[in-house]
Structure 1
Amino acid sequence: MAAQFGRRLRKGAATTAVAAAAVAALSASQAPGVTADGQGRQTAADATPAPEETDDIGATGNSPYYTDLPPLNSPDPSPSASTGPGAPGGSEAGIPATVLDAYKKAEAALREKKPGCNLPWQLLAAIGKVESGQARGGRVDADGTTLSPIIGPQLDGNGFALIRDTDDGAYDGNSSYDNAVGPMQFIPSTWEWAGRDGNGDGRKDPNNIYDAALAAGHYLCRFGWDLSDQADLNKAILSYNNSTDYLNTVLSWLEYYRKGTHEIPDGTGTLPVDRSDDHDRVRPTPPAPGTSTPGSRPGPGKPAGGSPSPEPPASPGAPSTPPTSPKPTPPTPPPTSPAPPGTPQTPTDTVDHLEDAGTGKLTAMAGDAFTRRISTRAETDAGKAVARVRIRFTIVGDTDTTFTGGESVATVVTNSSGVAVAPALRAGEKTGDVTVRATVAGRTVAGLDYRATVTERVADTLVRTGDEALTCTPGGEFADRVEVKATHNGAAADRVAATATLITSADDPAANDKGPYFKDADGKAVRTLDGLETDADGLLKLPRLYADDTTGTFLLRITTAGGATLTVELTVAAAGTTSPSPSTGPSASPSASPSA
């Protein structure tokens, strides 16, 4: 035993030295802001916490993660006999085929949906590495679902964050506390709004690598972050797990994968060993062999409930695997009831109600961002502010209005004044009232509803883009088409509804029954066009105009939503004659008809 312990001690010291050297070597090629200190540990000058509008418990609830560092040697994207899986660093550079495909598909989807985010798939690979060892080395089926669920330790406040159950055990099998779930380790309350269907099967499954990778991509791209910018990249990673050590570990793997990687068969990936809670966590006394306690963390090789594990964890303390057969679920304590004996009380437990914190009137035109943001204050029954409470803002009902970043749910932590400020709302195209509901995450406290109003797109000015005279001979076709530009407060008014009518006179807006006309799809004359809309630059180009045999001066009136109006003169005259006056009687041309 003493010899074994000595070997372990020597191995641990060697591993530490190698890890320190690895970080020191990698730091030279890291993105700006990342350096190595005297012990080889990474530091980041701009590794500041995520902005206040993010949820500081992160996507994972700040769950444990793998701390293994990449090898010193750079990976080879096309491994040869000397750089293959058996060579130093070769196996680490390999990513299981299905897992790698999921990362690349997520990158492609985000490139289309949020091109300004500039999400690299290597970032998803880096996070997948530290969260689950690339889905336990690629142990997934053909659809990308893990062969057995990957469940992190329960977040019971014992060395971890304290997050009481939010999903009644639906995702993590634990109805007392939350656990991070799946290859990207989302906590249930985050997955509820961040979950995506990445493989097109109609489900959002945190245990599916396609779903989880796409969800992670959207999570990292919210708040308009540009991941090609180092400061935004750091903020995004810290929002996933708010730890500087986590940031540095992910950055190390990101840089490693950027230098090259290759595809390996599913199930053959290298499993990580060291985890962030291996040495600094106070572990509970393990239950007697063959027993378990409701809601307790499973020990090595034994899932919650005491049934034999279908797959042993990669290392002691690694995310546990729940049993495949149903296990008895302990009753969920009412969220508003006192905490169980021995459980520390959290700020969330003290919240009695929510109050508006001076939000004001919420109104925006379709397609625009709301200038005001929703502010909610968490208070005790005595009216005192409660800081560090998660407030969940949910857009409810049939609407396409979202928060900035395209999400319909956002979780924000209250500040020292007990106030949580929701991300900015962006109006969709559906007009009318929108309800945004504020609730306390993890508690049954009466929600607070806010009403936001989306108005139609409008223009306040219309002008012609050209100044050429619009003339035509009787029975002919106008050479030029009428084009106008709509603006609102001086800016181009895009997608604004418009109507064009050939009116009877300046004082009579009714449609004329003679003179110039448009043609419908069947070639019939029409003198009113509804359903027109300006383009992205506020421009509207009308269809071609035609003339009947009536000569004279006629009026075309264009109006938009919001009241912008423009009247354009059209002249129909025989060739070689001047514009006839409506009161001149018969035209000088023998073939001309009486003027209008």
Structure 2
Amino acid sequence: MARYRGRHAAQQKAGKASGHRRRFQLSSSRYRRGLGGTAIAAVVMAALTASQAPGVELGGDHGKGRSDAAGDRSPGDDSYETQLPPLESPHPPEGASPGGSGDESGIPASVLKAYKDAAKSLASRTPGCGLRWELLAGIGKVESGQARGGAVDKDGTTLRPILGPVLNGAGFANIKDTDGGRWDGDTRYDRAVGPMQFIPSTWDRWGADGNGDGRKDPNNVYDAALAAGQYLCADGRDLSAKADLDRAILSYNNSDAYLRTVLAWFAYYREGTHSVPDTEGPLLPTSPGLGESGGGPDKGGSPSGPGKGTSPSKPSEPSKPGKPSESDKPGNPGGGGGDGDDGGTPSPDPTAPDAIVADGTKSFSAVAGEKFAKSPRVKVETSKGKGVKGVKVDFAIDGATEASFDGGAKKATVTTDAKGFAEAPGLDAGAKAGSFTVHASVPGKKLGTVDFTAEVAAAEADKLERTSEVVMSAPKNSAFALPIEIKATRKGEPVANTAVTAKLDNTTEGPHFENDKGEPVRTPVKLTTNEDGVAEVGKLFADDKPGDYTLTLTAEGGATVTVKLTITG
């Protein structure tokens, strides 16, 4: 079966694309009872010329000379499947296990859920759009055969990449690489990616997180369906109005034939559909640029297209999970892999960096003057979550503290190890309390930034002691001759700028401080240690009450020391 090569190729090779007729094979079980051969031929031709489809008026010549057909670059490469739906209205087959490769109305469970979730989400976010999930299903059918018949993992990500033709100008548009090979694995030219076939630059603008995992991945059917819905609803379109519906579909691919094909499937799915197990949905035949035998667009082959008069192939039998069919095996020409451009050889598992994520905690704390016990650590991984070796990761400290990496640097670059991990150098807290952030990113790649928060707490002394053991005594009604000096330390090191409280145990008589007026003061006094961790208690005076008294000094964090004060008679 043919696959259109894009609006330029379709118009140049097919001439009047809207009037093009193609052969179409129908199983005898789908013939309407009572129709003769001539009537059947008339019905088939009516479907293929697309004057209308069940329940929906099909578009006319909308794709030519219409500047409003696409307000943004179309998401994909303009290539798509041309298979039309069966002439009979769909209905779930009888029995406990509906669907299967021969039932076109069955949609793989994960894919169907993605369409419905996207439509529900957009119904609340853009209620005036009127997007129906069946429209997403129609587009998903012609773009990727419903993600290759539901070949997705439990999270909705395709088991193998679905890549369109290389956009190198050979039969398709010429689009130089815009994503560094992040999504399509090609650092020279772009390719449409995923079940809804987004070009990387368009995904960069419209990408969405449809499954809530914090990532926007065009290979994930939930993300791709939501992004496609947002794209279709753009510019205030009301998809319940035919003119806006046509414009939305044409913005996806500005081609009359594409419009009619999508509308046909849209109408078909609106008549009824049902869920089938993933990987058991109907698979579309192979197509140019998607591993078709005979060479892809850059192999010099001559793939069929409009005007070639080819007939559609019988849908492939689905592969059982974990056991690919012969047609799906890598390197088998004509296989239904759908992810290569060179005669059926599929692209390898993605190896390009796709995301940077935190490994472990994103919050750190330390005491001023010490080192942090741990450092920020990240993982650079592919779209499948596999670590990527040899990727440079930049770590940068942002904040007003004195924190730094080992050696006093504020920035450091670390290369990921064999498992994709990169850990920042050791972090010194510095002497100043406060908070800061460590940003981790991959230079030259649009992978986002991972932010780590760090808190530097004021130093707390674990020991407080006098610098002298001189006995503190004074005759009554006189001053104590010597000052009291204390030192705060933590792990044997001086603690600067920490608070110390000096408190007299007797607040009615005995030793006291004095204010500026010479009046006795027996309330606690606040001190602060200097850079050497030392603080001096203010001058003390004795009243006329001889006896022994106690002065207690307490540092922030709880370390204490007591000093005996004696007033002699």
TM-score interval, smaller chain: 0.3 to 0.5
Ranked by relative contact order (alpha carbons within 8 Å, sequence separation 6 or more), the top structure is: 2
TM-score, length of structure 2 as denominator length: 0.45
TM-score, length of structure 1 as denominator length: 0.43
Instruction: Say which one has the larger Rg.
Output: 2
